[in-house]
Structure 1
Amino acid sequence: MEFSEETLRKWLSKYKFRDLTIEELKSVHELYPNIRFTMSTYTFKDGSQKDLLNFSGTVPVKYQGNSYNIPVCLWILDSYPFTPPICFLKPTANMGVSIGKHVDARGRIYLPYLQHWSHPRSTIIGLTEEMIAKFEEELPLYSLSSTDAARQLELLSYIAKITEGENNIQSKGNGKKDDGRFNKVTVIGAGDLGLACALAISAKDVADKVIVLDCSEGTAKGGTMDLEIFALPKIEVSRDFSATANSKLVVLTINSLGNAQSYLDVVQSNVELFRGIIPSIAHYSQNSVLLVASQPVEIMTYVSWKMSGFPRSRVIGIGCNLDSARFQYIVSNIMKAQTKGKVNWIIGEQGENKVTACSGSNSAGEYQSEDLTDDNADHLLANRALEVLKGKGQRSWSVGLSVADLADSILNDKRKVHSISTMVKINFGLLQGL
């Protein structure tokens, strides 16, 4: 379709930031008039669909003295410009995909610009400029011979399904069909917390494969390098989002390591990190559960829910699971207290805003709660236990053990009650959703 602002306004009527999107598309059209815009239905793996704007065209690339026009296709999500486009090569029948640092076997394009996308600094024109620069370093397509071209047709039909939104790709390297029995976990972030989570999940033996996605720039450092050196059998380190495909559980551990001075600075930095990560996770593992360990947990869980488009039941934060487990241990084993069949909990926001509560059951589906303050003896016991709990810091390895505990319940359907962070409607008297 030729560029028509009136048509775009009609197509984008359900986009959250329609005017911002249209203004940017005007600039793109002026610079690249060969681009064609269409509105198509994007079908996700779980069967859900969205009508999304996509456009295709070519970007000019010079490689080793020759000029090439590289065909690409970009899908614009309905939360654009606060989430990056989904980018693919669109090779013709006589073109083969050159797998490299920025392109996978199915033609999906990965760039640092996408990973660090942040409005208003990031734009489609800026993305295109980086795309050209990276393609000039490593040409993403090559010409096929006539015999190779015939074999390429099957691959192209496969890629076509991806660019139409049908993501049925298996994770590279796992070698198994995802038939519901292969428990694959991805840990996003290769810092101390990410490595602690990966090692704890592996040690607890609840996953068949653990992918550690290293989002840092530069070469592998520290722990990730050591993981590659000593090659633990169930753990794989990758920088390629396609390696995370079909994960049952995705654990988010990334935190901004900038020079942020305030709470709001930390929140904004982490939100910007998530903008470049969550859409890719949602694309490759559309049936996964997101488990958020990044700080502040409650806010980042909400951000993950909004950016992923997942049902709220599949986006949870680690909440007070660690504090609750410690609290129960302190009451039962250090204070040797008899709680008359009650289970003690820490609930609420991480930090100083936590409160105590208790229930008469520790299994899902049989849950009655009451405030410990209703009973003076229980209230005194809770205060004593909280004083002991305050001296226990939440180090990476201890949070990792708590994440592994949650992973076990999620992957193996243990029907165990945990104190987590999740979205709930106001419903007084129910402790399960806190």
Structure 2
Amino acid sequence: MKPAGKVSRVALIGSGFVGASYAFAMLNQGVASEFVIIDLNHKKAEGDAMDLNHGIPFASNMRIWAGDYSDCKDADIVVITAGANQAPGETRLDLVGKNAAIFKHIIDAVMKSGFDGIFIVATNPVDVLTYATWKYSGLPANRVIGSGTILDSARLRSLLSSELKVDPSSVHAVIMGEHGDTELPIWSHVNVGGMPLEDFQATHGYPSQEKLDEIFVNVRDAAYHIIERKGATYYGIAMGLARLTKAVLRNENSILSVSARMDGQYGLNDLYIGVPAVIGREGIRDIIELKLTPNEQLKFEHSATVMKQAIKSIFPEHV
């Protein structure tokens, strides 16, 4: 890996809705010193780079340009948002086949450049494609991170905060499992300013379990609702990716809900799935093992089974 203290470079692969929104968030937050945009449509990448550069006088200084895979050699992080988008009525898992083929080409090209940093994957189905990135790249698992349930957890915190009438930053809640239809809320570990949700319900008389179930369904199905209305989701995940990038580059050791490789944690092995993890300069430093209720553990294992079946569709040898 590149020695700490050198100029930080992030390479973005895929300048579609998510990628361009992520680039905009990175510029506004001043997360990196250098930002290179790589896209099959090089003119689109050039246009985005030009447009972003014109905003630099209003933000922090950042070198931004449209490049190619050779620019990944000196990158600290390669962020992948390229791939086929989720269409109305399509689940994230429906995208497995077409995006796995795209990823094989991308990862081979990145590694050929001499890249030795950290991958952050956002393309869906993110858990399966993060696993594929790990396999194709040959990098240690801690240096391959999926955006996982970082956005789902933010959505849960946002909707809970509205219901509880408190600032979202004071609501601590996590979604685990697949970034998709089998994800689950970990109600047993939700707290409001340090107060367990169960105690908040007892002292305030709300929210009811029915209301919580309704909130979770809105979290789980949020992408479908947004896609139906405007064709794609991109602002929320772009903010999540910027947050994740910042945690790596600034060695924050922040606990974020990401797709990480299981190696015995929660009784699972050899798959990527959404869990809370400590994120710092070396990628995933540690996976936080929450004590789940029996029902939560059961649902989490079900989500893992679905992920393993999806992985098997790309890697038939996977068990």
TM-score by length of structure 1 reads 0.49
Compared with structure 1, are the counterparts of its residues 426 and 378 closer, same or farther at alpha carbon in structure 2 (3 Å cutoff)?
farther
Who is 1:421 aligned against?
A: 259
What does 1:38-117 align with in structure 2 at a 5 Å threshold? none
SS of the equivalent of 1:319 reads coil
Alignment partners' CA distance in 1, 2:91 and 2:172? 37
SS of the equivalent of 1:187 reads strand
Who is 2:298 aligned against?
A: none
Who is 2:245 aligned against?
A: 407
Alpha-carbon distance, 1:179 to partner:
5.6
Q: Does 1:296 align with 2:125?
A: yes
Of the candidates 221, 245, 248, which is equivalent to residue 73 of structure 2? 245
SS of the equivalent of 1:305 reads helix
Alignment partners' CA distance in 1, 2:152 and 2:98? 26
Q: Does 1:231 align with 2:56?
A: no
Alignment partners' CA distance in 1, 2:151 and 2:27? 18
Stretches of structure 2 lacking an aligned partner (at least 5 in a row): 57-61, 227-232, 268-274, 278-286, 289-319
Of the candidates 330, 334, 349, which is equivalent to residue 159 of structure 2? 330
Contact map agreement 1:356 1:371 (CA 8 A) in 2: no
Larger helix share, 1 or 2: 2
Contact map agreement 2:152 2:219 (CA 8 A) in 1: yes
How big is each residue's C-alpha offset from its partner over 1:239-267, in whole Å with a ceiling of 9 and x where there is no partner? Answer: 421222221111100113799x9977732
SS of the equivalent of 1:182 reads coil
What does 1:14-413 align with in structure 2 at a 5 Å threshold? 180-216=5-41, 220-221=43-44, 224-228=46-50, 231-232=53-54, 233=56, 234=62, 236-256=64-84, 266-284=95-113, 286-336=115-165, 343-357=172-186, 358-359=188-189, 380=209, 382-389=212-219, 392-393=222-223, 395-413=233-251
Contact map agreement 2:100 2:129 (CA 8 A) in 1: yes
The alignment of Structure 1 onto Structure 2 pairs a total of residues equal to 245
Higher Rg of the two aligned structures:
1
How big is each residue's C-alpha offset from its partner over 1:71-130, in whole Å with a ceiling of 9 and x where there is no partner? Answer: xxxxxxxxxxxxxxxxxxxxxxxxxxxxxxxxxxxxxxxxxxxxxxxxxxxxxxxxxxxx
Contact map agreement 1:183 1:209 (CA 8 A) in 2: yes
Alpha-carbon distance, 1:360 to partner:
7.7
Contact map agreement 1:198 1:235 (CA 8 A) in 2: no
TM-score by length of structure 2 reads 0.65
SS of the equivalent of 2:129 reads helix
Contact map agreement 1:356 1:382 (CA 8 A) in 2: no
Alpha-carbon distance, 1:333 to partner:
3.9
